[in-house]
Each structure stands twice: as structure tokens, then as C-alpha cells.
Amino acid sequence: MPDRTTAYRREARRIRGRLADSPVERYSALRELSRRHDATCDQGDQPAAIVCSPAASFGQIAADEIRDGVLPYSRRLGLLGTAQDLGIGRFEANLIIAAVQHRTTEAHGNRATSATFRLPLRRSLPLLTFLLVQSLILAGLWGIFLR
């Protein structure tokens, strides 16, 4: 019986051949195949070379903790403790968390929070007020002198 990696590659080739003219369906089918393969990654019946690394397991744990691209500081601290238990250093754990956050941000279409849009408006409010007052003064002068 072929090992899981060979079976995965064989199935991926079949999908690519069957859906060669439909890139959207091909991508979806390959993504689903990859998810099914990754779901079996932690099972003990795989050869030692294919077993998931602690970093991959930690990445999945981190992805489960992130909600809408945001990871609260308290959860980050908890993740760092989990990484230490898995034998992953603090620096590497932070890199993995950053990579997972980046990936989830891309998956959500780089949605920015409403606070991101409010911040520039708050900073420019004094300038907008100044311009409004100056416009009113000019409109008043124009009404007085040019009419």
C-alpha cells in the first residue's frame, strides 16, 4: 500500500488533470485535499518523516486562538507558554504567531477595523475645523465686498 504522501500526490495530479480548464474549481479541490491531508497529520500511523513538527502543531494552535485577525495579549502569553511546553523557543514562537496572523489577515481580505479609519479623522479634525472657519470668513468677505 502506498504511503500517504504518494497517495496525496497521486490524487493532486488527478485533480489537476480533471479540472485543468477550471482554475477556480481546481483550486478549491486542491485546497480541500490539502485540508484533509493536514487533518491526518497528527495520526500515529504515518512514517516518522511525515509526522507534523511541533512548529506546525503550534501554528494550528495559534490559528485557533486568533479571532478576526486579532490575538489579545493574554492569549499570546498563553500561546508562548504552550510553545515552551512543545520545546519551541520564545523567538520562534513569536515568528510563528506573526506568520499565522499574517495569513489570517490575508484570508479575511485585509479588513481594517473601524478604529483604523477613525484615527486619521481624529488627527485631521483640527485642520478641518481651521479650513471650515477660514472658508466661512472668506464667504462672509465675498458677500460683503463683492455684492
Q: How confident is the model at residue 109 (pLDDT cuts 50, 70, 90)?
A: low
pLDDT band at 27 (very low <50, low <70, confident <90, very high): confident
Residue 11 is predicted with a pLDDT of 86
- Partners of 67 in the β-ladder: 70
Query: What global pTM score does this model have?
Result: 0.43
